[in-house]
Structure 1
Amino acid sequence: MATTRGTHAKPPETGRRHRDRKRTRPVAPEAAHDFELLREMLLIRRFEERCVELYSAAAIRGFVHLYIGEEAVTVGVHHALTEQDAVVSTYREHGHALARGIPAEAVMAEMYGRVSGCSHGRGGSMHLFDAGRRFYGGNAIVGGGLPLAVGLALADRMRGHDEVTCCFFGDGAFAEGEFHESANLAALWGLPVLFVCENNLYAMGTALAREHAQTDLAMRAASYGMAAWAVDGMDVHAVEKAARRAVTSIRAGNGPHFLEARTYRFRAHSMYDPDRYRPKDEVAEWKRRDPIAILTERMQAAGPLDASALKKLEREVTEEIDHAVHTAEQAPEEPVESLLRHVTGRHEEVPS
């Protein structure tokens, strides 16, 4: 079923288990959970802000697509998943990787192109990968992860497993043929796939209404016979609740589900993008719906978060990122002798 129609040119109204970290202070279970949500969103935000500094200093190279502003989506969704579930990501993936539990030092080392990176320095920003955590990329091709997600879900089902495969993608990928083929097959075969569309209103520089005749993506996804609904992607509590509802239904054998997380990236499409296609007042309006600020204000109003606790949380995150940068800078690059390892289809001279 699809809900919440409209182009949503304005922000919607307000509405793990993986890292072994020290909790800021002993609190009630609900408050402790909020501390974990806040810490993960802060880690993603501060990690990417550091990446901006490093990129500007030419310490890291290549394409870099920032997730700043969208942190509530990945953090909320990941708290509905287990370690056994599979995750397929996009080229805007730093937040997905960190929320999945890939250590910050492994992600940062990959940004630096060092062998200690999660892809051994060969993938960089767009190709983070960790098979041990069932994190299957990182894909530079728009929509390229969608068929992979269907294949992973089919493989799990054929093995008799009950894992869910979660596939993140953007509103631009929704317009690609891969989405429609993948949605059709997943629904036809009743596969355990959670499709999470991070609708940030722009496919690179193309506004949603210029790309889609019908901008209610959840309603369109429902036409494939799957349960589908929209959620406020700036509210981590709303995202987690929606994701838990979807995952529970998928595990019960109700086939694929679709979440349209209505969100917004605060930065340009990539570090190369001059970002001249978005009205400044639109960007400013969405920044007032900062997911980190929303959760922080809720926690402060409820009592568990005071200025001292927030400062300590920020310090812990900064120390983790400082350590990640230090270890990345000290890590070796791949030896030239091994550059052809894992390379398929390379040309080899035929002896005369």
Structure 2
Amino acid sequence: MPTLFVDKDNKYHKIYKQMLLARKFEEATVQLYREGLIRGFCHPYIGQEAVLIGINSKMQSQDSMITGYRCHAHTIIAGCDPKSVMAELTGRSTGCSKGKGGSMHMFSIKNRFYGGHGIVGAWTSLGTGIGFSHKYKEDNGVCVVFLGDGSSNQGQFFESMNMASLWNLPVLYIIENNGYAIGTSVERSAAGGPLHKRGECFGIDSEEVDGMDVEKMSEAADRGLSIARSGKPYIIEAATYRFRPHSMSDPDKHRSKEEIDKYKALDPISSYEQKCLKNKFMTEDEVKQIKKEVKEIVSESVKFAKESPFPENHEMFEDLYTKSL
């Protein structure tokens, strides 16, 4: 029996609720974008929930997280109030970045979540630096750096792996390989075999995991975080798939309906739900209750965002600098 299902803390309830919240929150985001309440770029995380929630299930309070522009779910799972995340998406002053960051630039020092970054792959070097901070402070923390298959082609990632290995930094790189860098498939953009193998030349161990299975992601997180915590960087490549286009402005002409339907049949949330019900780790009533709670959280978040004020003009000149530490 998978270890996840016999956890004494009943974490399967929490994991199901987190995956469902990430999904329903993003579905609400899509609707608000269509209504014109969210502007600019917007990248839904729908379909990839098992990767984030599986990794987060094994993270400790001192650990930190950083990712790219597909960051709404990461921000919530890191501990930010969904209301503040939805407010940020709609550019309101009550947002987690005061309405200045929007969809791609969310941030929360309190929750050790360091973005939300728009420059492809650039945050891998920032995350490696946060790993250095963990080592310098001797706080036993690990920086979990999420990146996509497209980001794994960027030079910053290779420089980061080199430094992480050279300096024995506690960094766990999670390559969320959803098969496409916007509209370019991995087969047409990445040479040299599996993406997780790219750390071999730096002496970094790695593995590939089924990113549509939250149990397998949780078990891999256990291994990866343990290795990283010992001072050796580690790479996990999660084979996943996004059900929505790359962004809300993407026409998504490069994928066939048959391909998308094939992966939707592997939906990580419905698969997990059915497995829990089959093994009697959740009842039908518990599932209904969780769905009700999630619906209420999302509805309240939308209501809060719509009723929140926009930033005052003077906010343009604030938070530009910080005092040296």
If the TM-score is normalised by the length of the shorter chain, which range does it land in? over 0.9
Between the aligned partners of 2:99 and 2:223, the Cα distance in structure 1 is 37
Q: 1:298 to 1:31 in 2, by over 3 A?
A: farther
Q: Is the 8 A contact 1:31 1:304 kept in 2?
A: no
* Alignment match, 1:184: 162
Shift of 1:59: 1.5
* Alignment match, 1:295: 272
Between the aligned partners of 1:311 and 1:266, the Cα distance in structure 2 is 24
Pick from 47, 70, 74: which aligns with 2:48? Answer: 70
Q: Is the 8 A contact 1:114 1:120 kept in 2?
A: yes
Tell me the amino acid that sits aligned with residue 335 of structure 1: E
Q: Is the 8 A contact 1:208 1:215 kept in 2?
A: no
Is 1:110 matched with 2:88?
A: yes
* Alignment match, 1:334: 311
Pick from 225, 247, 254: which aligns with 2:225? Answer: 247
User: In structure 1, the residue corresponding to 2:10 is in which secondary structure?
Assistant: helix
Q: Deviations over 1:47-69 (max 9, x none)?
A: 00011111111121111101000
Q: Spell out the pairing of 1:115-264 with structure 2 (5 A cutoff).
A: 115-253=93-231, 255-264=232-241
Q: Is the 8 A contact 1:209 1:215 kept in 2?
A: no
Shift of 1:222: 2.4
Tell me the amino acid that sits aligned with residue 131 of structure 2: A
Shift of 1:83: 2.1
Structure 1 segments, 4+ long, off by >4 Å, are 27-31
Pick from 21, 36, 40: which aligns with 2:18? Answer: 40
Segment drifting more, 146-155 vs 302-311:
302-311
Between the aligned partners of 2:52 and 2:26, the Cα distance in structure 1 is 14
Tell me the amino acid that sits aligned with residue 332 of structure 1: P
Between the aligned partners of 1:28 and 1:37, the Cα distance in structure 2 is 13
Between the aligned partners of 1:46 and 1:31, the Cα distance in structure 2 is 25
Q: Deviations over 1:101-120 (max 9, x none)?
A: 11110100101111111101
Between the aligned partners of 2:167 and 2:120, the Cα distance in structure 1 is 24
Q: Deviations over 1:309-345 (max 9, x none)?
A: 222111100001111111111211111133211236x
Question: How many residue pairs were aligned?
Answer: 318
Tell me the amino acid that sits aligned with residue 36 of structure 2: A
Tell me the amino acid that sits aligned with residue 149 of structure 1: G
Between the aligned partners of 1:215 and 1:296, the Cα distance in structure 2 is 34
Between the aligned partners of 1:183 and 1:342, the Cα distance in structure 2 is 31
TM-score by length of 2: 0.94
User: In structure 1, the residue corresponding to 2:207 is in which secondary structure?
Assistant: strand
* RMSD (Å), alpha carbons: 1.6
What are the ranges of 5 or more consecutive residues in structure 2 without an aligned counterpart? Answer: none
User: In structure 1, the residue corresponding to 2:141 is in which secondary structure?
Assistant: coil
Q: 1:312 to 1:64 in 2, by over 3 A?
A: same
* Alignment match, 2:247: 270
Q: Deviations over 1:291-318 (max 9, x none)?
A: 0011011101111323322221111000
* Alignment match, 1:350: none
Q: Is the 8 A contact 2:62 2:139 kept in 1?
A: no
Q: 1:28 to 1:232 in 2, by over 3 A?
A: closer
What are the ranges of 5 or more consecutive residues in structure 1 without an aligned counterpart? Answer: 1-14, 16-26, 345-352
Q: Is the 8 A contact 2:170 2:230 kept in 1?
A: no
* Alignment match, 1:347: none
